Amino acid sequence: MERTNKSVGANMRILGIIGGYACLCLSFLIVFEIFSREFFNWSLQGVDEIGGYVVAITGTFGMALAAVERGHTRIDVLLLRLSKRAQTTLNLLAYVALAVGAAFMAYMAWRTLSDSLLFGSVASSPLQTPLWIPQSLWFAGLVVFALAALTSALRGLWALQLGLDETDKFLAPASIEKEIEDAKR
C-alpha cells in the first residue's frame, strides 16, 4: 500500500508541475499581451480565452493533487476537540463527500463535452477554438480528481483496519508541526 501511495503521489506531483509550468507560460503570455497593447497597439487576440482554459484545466488537476496530499482546506477548530474516533469518521466522510462531489462535477463535464461534440461547438471568440479540446482536458482533470478523492477514501478505509493512528496518515490534515517540517526542506 505504501508503494502505491508513493506512486500516486509522484504522478500527481508531475501533473502539478506541468500545471505550474502552464500557469507560468500563461503569465508570460499575459505580460506579452499587456506590453504589445501598450507599446505597439497590437493584440494577440484570445489570451483571455486561453487563460480561462488553463485555469480550468490546471485547477481540476490541482484539486486532485490536493486530495492525494491531504491539502484541501478544512476548518479544524472543532475537529481537534473531538475524540480520535470522531475525527477519523469525519475525515473519512469528508473524503467520501469530496469523491461524490468530484464525480458529480465529472458527470456534468461529460454532459457538456458530449453536447460540444454532438453540435461541433466552437468558442465565440477570435480563436474559434473547437470546445471539445479544452473540455476534454477539463473532463480528464475532473475524472482524475474524483479518482484521487475516491482512492484517498479507500486508503483511509483500508488503514482503519490497522488502527486510528494509521488512518490519520491517510486522511487527517497535516499538523502545524508537519507543515513547518515540510517547509524547512
- Largest Cα span, the chain: 65
Cell readout for 56 is: 480550468
Query: What's the pLDDT at 74?
Result: 73
- Please state, in angstroms and rounded to a whole number, the distance separating the CA atoms of residues 74 and 182: 19
Query: What's the pLDDT at 122?
Result: 95
Distances (CA, A) of 100 to 114, 124, 153, 165: 21, 32, 11, 25
Q: At what angle do helices 84-119 and 132-160 cross, to 10 degrees?
A: 160
- Please state, in angstroms and rounded to a whole number, the distance separating the CA atoms of residues 44 and 34: 10
- Can you tell me whether residue 162 is helix, strand or coil? coil
Place of cell 486510528: 164
Stretches where the chain sits below pLDDT 50 are none
Query: What's the pLDDT at 75?
Result: 72
Query: What's the pLDDT at 77?
Result: 76
Query: What's the pLDDT at 165?
Result: 72
Query: What's the pLDDT at 79?
Result: 77
Amino acid at 133: I
Query: What's the pLDDT at 36?
Result: 93
Query: What's the pLDDT at 26?
Result: 94
